[in-house]
Structure 1
């Protein structure tokens, strides 16, 4: 079973009177309307399982059931008032346990939830210097890099993202890349109470489309890149882009920093409705058609990381480094540092702080995370074609032996990327091990088959001539066994990339969460390897085992 739901909220909050909220947001009051004048709400919750006394419970329409079905439970836990739509108000009208509770009715409660929660908590974002990062790949690493730079400069920071939520020294695992609006505003209020001064936050396209960050106007927002992902939700790339572009409007940020290394970045910079600083991290030609405000040059990869120079058209420059491997992490670091500089930081102060901190090199769980060196085993979150390609290309130059990749695809998500990931794996790795990711409610074998189709087609079109008995593409399931076989088969000079899940510690199969941490499975497999000094032979290929379906 999964971990219990936890929530960071302020210990003290004056809150807002229900009557004042109704007036400010032009809401009607139903239910216990006569008692509303004496009701004050001090917190906001949209999940009945985390309701505390004095909460405003927000009952939203859901994909399967309306949140109003849980109003009685919320009131039983102490909810002092309810916010819902007309359908929800009708559903709770006959609930006897709710008769004395004021019910605020809005046409679209989700669209105003962020603003209402911000009002209840006293606009906590205004007390922080806030940074948001969006894009397909690199959000987590860039967010950690922003936080790392700010902490190096002495700021007490907060962080919100895919891996964790953090307020000062208080840390909770994340359930969503970007929390729901009520949880986010509670977290920001807790940060204010905890004397946090800065916030670095991932903002997903889902969060923007579903109003989760409404009520926050970020001081600086950054854009990494755009490639195929989440099309099950957005439908197509233009719609996916449009959701990301919402961040670069006056309702959501004051200033933007956009990486313009490709057409999507250029389009984002052109369409932004706020002032934008552009950043180019690939080599700049003399006849560059799209000049940038900032650019990266003098990139020097080394055994311990990459040094580079960040320059501005006004002559400012910053010499620094990152120990995270790959050219894409130079891009992530450059974006993070430009965001900090565009917030008004003096480049000399930032350079001094980074030098003392050893560069822009935070530890990012599950992002190109090195688990062992002989063989080298790296765990990374790469779960779409571009991210997988970038991870493999980062590891290839420093792999003297074989490069092995273990990965799968998520069930009930963008199915079009599955064969693409299979092809990318074959093009970038010597040995491809297709296994399971999170099947959710979809048959795992069917998902693997779609990935394998792309991989095997790439092998056939590539015309590789391999030694007899050596296979480029194998299928092994469950995932723990695939990791085990890959690690046991690897020689000391080989690299094994375990991709797709990164920091995640639960695998969902048919609605049931099973404990599964790729890093734990790697270490367990490493413990089975005989001592290298004993000259034990390593198998040349993966064992060809019949895939096993995970049992729910």
Structure 2
């Protein structure tokens, strides 16, 4: 693509003549520059990307896109590449990336879903519905990236729910080349506020819910809501909003003329769920009532009332891009999402579940869904991530202590923080619950040992919930990523426990004294 046209697109200035220069790619990471790329030198929290312009030039970059500060740094480093200078690189990076890769989003149906909880599940449901309707579908989200049925092992920037703008547009371009004609994307508040989805127009966007999370990044709930609302600032043709959620109702009022409302509780809305049955761990059932399809029975292999909301959102969004409920509903029946209310069965006589719930509302919803399925005690293993919203930690502890029978407070991904400090904040919330209403509270920092403790306590009719990490395969501790998989650890603990009990190698009345010493 023409660098001169790109400069005009981003309203930039350059001392060099760009008339005969072209660019074939764009990246904001100097270590990933390929010959022909535009290097976007972005200011960071610790240093400016312009300091790596020489590295980018050596790798084959043909131009640098940066701000005034970056331009001075590039000049000081004696880099000979032409420079396009703009006031704010991040503000134009999405549009620039879209231009460089030929506006790939405009050549596919784009469906974006935003929410505090349920984005991943809703995205998988929509993926299944689109595929059933004959589309070749792309999926961009927290768990994985799919091009059709092909899993992409590594996408640059894929540690984020929504990749950085250059990576995202490059990925969309690859999807176009691969024959994808519809893309389902999870859209995070970070992505919206940081401009990662700039340059993308959505055919339909969904707002499912908002609850406390990410207040380490957003100043408060209003700031968090304002970031989510950016998906509905005109870049999406149709808005599908869950009006049962107070924030969803607010989004619905932003542009009533392009809004389609849904109500999982059966309130007056364009799409309603009625005759809800969420009493089975094997899944949930409801009847969908919509503008063109009413009285259609829906069955999901996903338990809990919150999955009724996810299912209804998926059906309503799919209808806006031409997938009728008569096609979508059968396709949703067998969808299973990794690490989302995932049952672990190793022949035990109690329930064992792994779920990604890592915020107060999500943990509460998971426990509420499991309580009716639990004849005995509800045992939960729960931690909080480091370098993230600290305000939610006591809330997580309180929810766990109030809604379970045994709460085992452990480590999640402590990252750079002291794990015992994180656990102490959770325990403060747990101990704030009146004693008569409080679960038995145990602290065990080693997550693997915490899972083993939960399994050791479980008896017939109980339920063990391991919450927080879901599909993740690693644990972030300091600068290391340790191999860790909740599902595998839970499965191994159950197998070992069954073997031990079978041959009489442990006291079946409970864990050993050292574990009891951790109890409150």
TM-score per shorter chain, which class? Answer: over 0.9
1:270 aligns to what? 253
Gaps of 5+ in 2: none
Change (3 A) 1:107 1:303: closer
Q: Distance in 1 between matches of 2:432 and 2:380?
A: 17
Q: Deviations over 1:236-256 (max 9, x none)?
A: 111111111110121x21101
Query: SS of the residue aligned with 2:61?
Result: coil
Question: Is 1:203 aligned to 2:173, yes or no?
Answer: no
1:12 aligns to what? none
Question: Is 1:237 aligned to 2:221, yes or no?
Answer: yes
Query: SS of the residue aligned with 1:372?
Result: coil
Query: SS of the residue aligned with 1:255?
Result: strand
Residue correspondence of structure 1 range 58-73 to structure 2 within 5 A: 58-73=40-55
Gaps of 5+ in 1: 1-15, 285-290, 465-470
Residue 441 of structure 1, CA deviation = 1.5
1:87 aligns to what? 69
Residue 49 of structure 1, CA deviation = 2.4
Q: Distance in 1 between matches of 2:281 and 2:228?
A: 36
Q: Distance in 2 between matches of 1:543 and 1:102?
A: 69
Residue 52 of structure 1, CA deviation = 1.4
Residue 273 of structure 1, CA deviation = 7.2
Residue correspondence of structure 1 range 464-483 to structure 2 within 5 A: 472-483=440-451
Question: Is 1:246 aligned to 2:230, yes or no?
Answer: yes
Q: Distance in 2 between matches of 1:480 and 1:22?
A: 53
Question: Is 1:17 aligned to 2:40, yes or no?
Answer: no
Residue 337 of structure 1, CA deviation = 0.9
1:107 to 78, 81, 87: 87
2:287 aligns to what? 309
Q: Distance in 1 between matches of 2:33 and 2:491?
A: 39
Q: Which moved more, 1:382-391 or 1:271-280?
A: 271-280
1:419 to 376, 382, 394: 394
Residue 313 of structure 1, CA deviation = 4.9
1:365 to 322, 335, 338: 338
Query: SS of the residue aligned with 2:11?
Result: coil
Do the aligned residues in 2 keep the contact of 1:254 with 1:274 (CA within 8 Å)?
no
Q: Distance in 2 between matches of 1:314 and 1:153?
A: 17
Change (3 A) 1:49 1:487: farther
1:331 aligns to what? 309
Residue 541 of structure 1, CA deviation = 5.6
Do the aligned residues in 1 keep the contact of 2:419 with 2:445 (CA within 8 Å)?
no
Residue correspondence of structure 1 range 459-538 to structure 2 within 5 A: 459-460=434-435, 462-463=436-437, 472-531=440-499, 534=502, 538=508
1:172 aligns to what? 153
Residue 364 of structure 1, CA deviation = 1.1
Change (3 A) 1:547 1:170: farther
Q: Distance in 2 between matches of 1:86 and 1:120?
A: 22
Query: SS of the residue aligned with 1:201?
Result: strand
Do the aligned residues in 2 keep the contact of 1:486 with 1:542 (CA within 8 Å)?
no
Do the aligned residues in 2 keep the contact of 1:366 with 1:379 (CA within 8 Å)?
yes
Change (3 A) 1:532 1:340: farther
Question: Is 1:344 aligned to 2:328, yes or no?
Answer: no
Query: SS of the residue aligned with 2:303?
Result: coil
Aligned length: 509
Residue 155 of structure 1, CA deviation = 1.4
Change (3 A) 1:345 1:463: closer
Change (3 A) 1:315 1:503: closer
Q: Deviations over 1:87-112 (max 9, x none)?
A: 1111010223x21x121111111011
1:182 aligns to what? 166
Change (3 A) 1:542 1:62: farther
Do the aligned residues in 1 keep the contact of 2:162 with 2:186 (CA within 8 Å)?
yes
Q: Deviations over 1:491-523 (max 9, x none)?
A: 243211111111112222223222222122212
Change (3 A) 1:314 1:405: same
Question: Is 1:49 aligned to 2:22, yes or no?
Answer: no
Name the TM-score, length of structure 2 as normaliser: 0.93
Q: Which moved more, 1:312-321 or 1:196-205?
A: 312-321
Q: Distance in 2 between matches of 1:299 and 1:543?
A: 45
Q: Distance in 1 between matches of 2:196 and 2:290?
A: 34
Question: Is 1:125 aligned to 2:105, yes or no?
Answer: yes
Q: Distance in 2 between matches of 1:69 and 1:458?
A: 52
1:255 to 215, 238, 250: 238
2:385 aligns to what? 410
Q: Distance in 2 between matches of 1:102 and 1:318?
A: 60
1:144 to 101, 124, 131: 124
Q: Which moved more, 1:337-346 or 1:216-225?
A: 337-346
Q: Distance in 2 between matches of 1:176 and 1:189?
A: 19
Q: Distance in 2 between matches of 1:158 and 1:445?
A: 41
RMSD between aligned alpha carbons?
Answer: 2.1
Q: Distance in 1 between matches of 2:316 and 2:32?
A: 38
2:356 aligns to what? 381
Question: Is 1:430 aligned to 2:405, yes or no?
Answer: yes
Q: Deviations over 1:173-232 (max 9, x none)?
A: 531011000100000000000001111110000110000000001101011101111111
Q: Deviations over 1:363-402 (max 9, x none)?
A: 2111111222623221111111000000111111111222
Residue 524 of structure 1, CA deviation = 2.5
